[in-house]
């Protein structure tokens, strides 16, 4: 008989990947060692090689130096999100800490080096905890140039132009209001916004053109969905390059080859052009391209690919050799049984809207108990992948169905759907979840007398809101670092998040009444279902106090609450042993309350 551990991938990855300048090595962050260390693997295939041996730290972002002999990366300690900068050579025994200044949050540019490798670009809130500046470091003499964002804007650097003159930078006001700025490194002018004339919108920076005359970007300027575009500096012109009826999610360029992926109802579809003509690509398994990188000669394409049938892996794609995996994290159960693929469905919601969802049905006869799973974000998306460290496939093997809706606020279904959640947490999203329970009640082969609800981060908030505010006979609930009080959550948000929180959630002073009326803790006396709550003690986004206050209220009423705080974790899990223990607790808890009633 299978156990949860039989479905656990042999190791996991951070959402970062870097292809060496000569396309011979792929660098990634994986936790085969128990922590997220820096690894490299030959692009032609071979044994992965571990470069770092970190204790209590997790590698978050990675970039190669232009000479291909060194890498830089960021790492934080026990999930505190106070990232430091490190450099390591391929033959070094230990990385060198190249962080300057106090403990703070440092964000590495997506392509941080100039072509010589002398200058390194990153963002930091070292000067003012509430402001994220841009810094350009001279690695030869240690000097720095600093660029300060306008009020209310959070800077995040993207890439230096090939001629070294321009630094392309994103300026965040919210996740759907991102402007683009250019910084002239050969002059003394302030950063200037090149997208301001187009008004509020999403403009995500992409790769530069080889001659530095402009750059590519992803934008929703022309409609509900994100398109690929290019901006020409001298002409100050932005023009579309690729448009679909779904979001363009990734874009890369090498010479005359353009590569992009499209999020088509959750599935990643790769496309390419060479010299303006379509370039056929080999098929890839159905799933999600987490991140990708295109080789300097337009081959290979390095991918982090996640699918329902196989956990996230490093893979490569080339027109001449096809698709192949470079890592193998498959657990025993996935090699012994056929994993369940989700069925895409839609269900009706208020206002004539339809909500997209994924329904996983067990292979055995029903009726099946159900886990209603709510993704985080809230601006995330439930997609066809090997979800939650094997939890979904384990539950399916035990006969439990999983229903994962993309309610109001989810990305992937247009700008309007995403923005419905703004300053309305616990409103339209909860109404969509109410309609989800009605859909489940009408669906064949599902036992709606046995339904649990679960989520992490925002999804934890949504799960707790279901338990506290929807008149449904819940069998159980699970919250992983879920907010319980929107007022205290807004008050305790990370310093650089203040503007995001006000745009997304509301002001904890002027909007206190509304936020209180939408908080699960306000309705704690309505919660009667058994509850499992897991929380990181070092969580900078959803502090431990969020879970503490709800647990105290529930236990005072005698509600069955299992509560564990992980002393060495932040928002989510970086320690593999902690992650596996946590999800095993979740699996056992759900089986206990969904299969033994």
| Rounded average pLDDT over 340-345 | 95
Peptide bond into 300 cis (omega under 30): yes
pLDDT digits over 128-150, tens only? Answer: 988 999 999 999 998 999 999 99
Tracing tokens 């402001």 back to the chain, one arrives at 131
pLDDT-derived band of residue 216, with 50, 70 and 90 as boundaries? very high
pLDDT-derived band of residue 587, with 50, 70 and 90 as boundaries? very high
pLDDT above 80 (res 596):
no
Q: Which pLDDT belongs to residue 236?
A: 92
Q: Which pLDDT belongs to residue 321?
A: 86
Q: Which pLDDT belongs to residue 130?
A: 87
Contacts (Cβ under 8 Å, ≥6 apart) of 476: 452, 453, 529, 530, 531, 532, 589, 590, 593, 594
| Rounded average pLDDT over 309-318 | 94
Between CA 367 and CA 180 the distance in angstroms is 52
Between CA 37 and CA 119 the distance in angstroms is 25
Q: Are 164 and 114 in contact (CB under 8 A)?
A: yes
Q: Which pLDDT belongs to residue 597?
A: 57
pLDDT above 70 (res 82):
yes
CA–CA distance from 34 to each of 46, 53, 58, 537 (Å)?
21, 10, 10, 19
Q: Which pLDDT belongs to residue 100?
A: 76
pLDDT-derived band of residue 124, with 50, 70 and 90 as boundaries? very high
Q: Which of 290, 235, 285 is nearest to 261 (CA)?
A: 290
Tracing tokens 């979840």 back to the chain, one arrives at 433
| Rounded average pLDDT over 25-51 | 95
- How high does pLDDT run on average in the chain? 93
Q: Are 234 and 276 in contact (CB under 8 A)?
A: no
DSSP string of 473-529?
Answer: ---EEEEES----HHHHHHTS-GGGHHHHHHHT--TTTTHHHHHHT-GGGGGGG--S
Per-residue burial over 356-382, b if 16 or more Cβ lie within 10 Å, else e, is: bbbbbbbeeeeebbbbbbbbbbbbbbb
pLDDT above 60 (res 4):
yes
pLDDT-derived band of residue 102, with 50, 70 and 90 as boundaries? confident
Q: Which pLDDT belongs to residue 274?
A: 92
Q: Which pLDDT belongs to residue 366?
A: 84
Q: Which pLDDT belongs to residue 566?
A: 93
pLDDT-derived band of residue 467, with 50, 70 and 90 as boundaries? very high
In the chain, DSSP finds a helix count (H) and a strand count (E) of 10, 36
Between CA 226 and CA 168 the distance in angstroms is 19
| Rounded average pLDDT over 112-120 | 94
How many C-beta neighbours within 10 Å does residue 573 have? 26
pLDDT digits over 370-412, tens only? Answer: 999 999 999 999 999 998 889 999 999 999 999 999 999 999 9
Q: Is 337 helix (H, G, I), strand (E, B) or coil?
A: coil
pLDDT-derived band of residue 230, with 50, 70 and 90 as boundaries? very high
Q: Which pLDDT belongs to residue 385?
A: 95
Peptide bond into 378 cis (omega under 30): yes
Between CA 339 and CA 393 the distance in angstroms is 6
pLDDT digits over 515-543, tens only? Answer: 999 999 999 999 999 999 999 999 888 99
Q: Which pLDDT belongs to residue 565?
A: 96
Tokens of 430: 């909860």
pLDDT digits over 249-284, tens only? Answer: 999 999 899 999 999 999 999 999 998 899 999 999
Domains of the chain and CATH, by start: 11-249 (2.120.10.30), 353-595 (3.40.50.1820)
Is pLDDT larger for residue 125 or for residue 298?
A: 125
Which range scores top for mean pLDDT: 75-79, 258-262, 297-301? 258-262
Q: Is 532 helix (H, G, I), strand (E, B) or coil?
A: strand
pTM (2 decimals)? 0.92
């Amino acid at each position: 008989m299978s156990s949860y551990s039989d479905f656990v991938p042999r190791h996991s990855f951070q959402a970062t990947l870097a292809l060496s300048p000569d396309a011979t090595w792929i660098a990634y962050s994986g936790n085969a060692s128990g922590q997220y260390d820096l690894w490299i693997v030959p692009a032609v295939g071979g044994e992965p090689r571990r470069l770092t041996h970190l204790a209590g730290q997790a590698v978050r972002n990675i970039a190669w130096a232009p000479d291909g002999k060194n890498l830089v990366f960021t790492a934080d300690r026990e999930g505190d999100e106070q990232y430091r900068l490190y450099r390591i050579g391929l033959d070094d025994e230990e990385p060198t800490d190249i962080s300057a200044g106090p403990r703070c949050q440092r964000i590495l540019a997506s392509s941080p080096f100039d072509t010589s490798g002398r200058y390194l670009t990153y963002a930091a809130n070292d000067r003012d905890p509430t402001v994220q500046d841009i810094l350009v470091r001279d690695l030869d003499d240690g000097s720095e140039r600093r660029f300060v964002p306008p009020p209310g804007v959070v800077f995040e650097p993207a890439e230096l132009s090939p001629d070294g003159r321009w630094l392309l930078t994103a300026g965040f006001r919210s996740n759907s209001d991102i402007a683009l700025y250019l910084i002239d490194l050969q002059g003394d002018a302030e950063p200037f916004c090149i997208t301001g004339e187009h008004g509020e919108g999403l403009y995500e920076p992409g790769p530069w053109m080889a001659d530095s005359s402009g750059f590519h970007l992803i934008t929703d300027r022309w409609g509900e969905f994100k398109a690929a575009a290019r901006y020409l500096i001298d002409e100050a012109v932005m023009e579309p390059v690729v448009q679909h009826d779904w979001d363009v999610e990734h874009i890369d360029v090498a010479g005359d080859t353009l590569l992009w992926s499209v999020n088509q109802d959750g599935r990643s579809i790769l496309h390419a052009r060479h010299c303006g003509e379509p370039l056929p690509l080999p098929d890839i398994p159905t799933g999600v391209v987490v991140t990708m990188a295109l080789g300097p000669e337009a081959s290979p394409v390095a991918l982090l690919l996640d699918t329902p049938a196989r956990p996230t892996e490093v893979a490569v794609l080339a027109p001449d050799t096809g698709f192949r995996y470079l890592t193998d994290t498959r657990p025993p159960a996935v090699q012994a049984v056929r994993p369940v693929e989700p069925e895409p469905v839609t269900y009706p919601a208020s206002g004539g809207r339809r909500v997209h969802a994924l329904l996983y049905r067990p292979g055995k006869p029903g009726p099946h108990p159900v886990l209603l799973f709510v993704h985080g974000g809230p601006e995330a998306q439930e997609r066809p992948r090997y979800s939650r460290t094997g939890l979904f496939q384990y539950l399916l093997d035990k006969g439990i169905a999983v229903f994962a809706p993309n309610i109001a606020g989810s990305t992937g279904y247009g700008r309007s759907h995403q923005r419905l959640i703004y300053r309305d947490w616990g409103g339209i999203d909860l109404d969509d979840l109410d309609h989800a329970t009605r859909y489940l009640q009408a669906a064949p082969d599902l036992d709606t007398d046995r339904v649990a609800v679960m989520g992490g981060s925002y999804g934890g908030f949504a799960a707790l809101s279901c338990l506290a505010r929807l008149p449904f006979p819940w069998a159980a609930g699970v919250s992983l670092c879920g907010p319980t009080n929107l007022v205290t959550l807004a008050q305790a948000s990370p310093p650089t998040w203040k503007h995001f929180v006000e745009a997304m959630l509301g002001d904890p002073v002027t909007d206190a009444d509304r936020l209180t009326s939408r908080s699960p803790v306000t309705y704690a006396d309505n919660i009667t279902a058994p509850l499992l709550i897991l929380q990181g003690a070092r969580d900078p986004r959803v502090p431990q106090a969020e879970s503490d206050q709800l647990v105290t209220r529930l236990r005072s009423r005698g509600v069955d609450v299992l509560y564990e705080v992980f002393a060495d974790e932040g928002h989510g899990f970086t320690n593999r042993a902690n992650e596996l223990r946590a999800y095993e607790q979740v699996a056992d808890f759900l089986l206990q309350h969904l299969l033994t009633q």
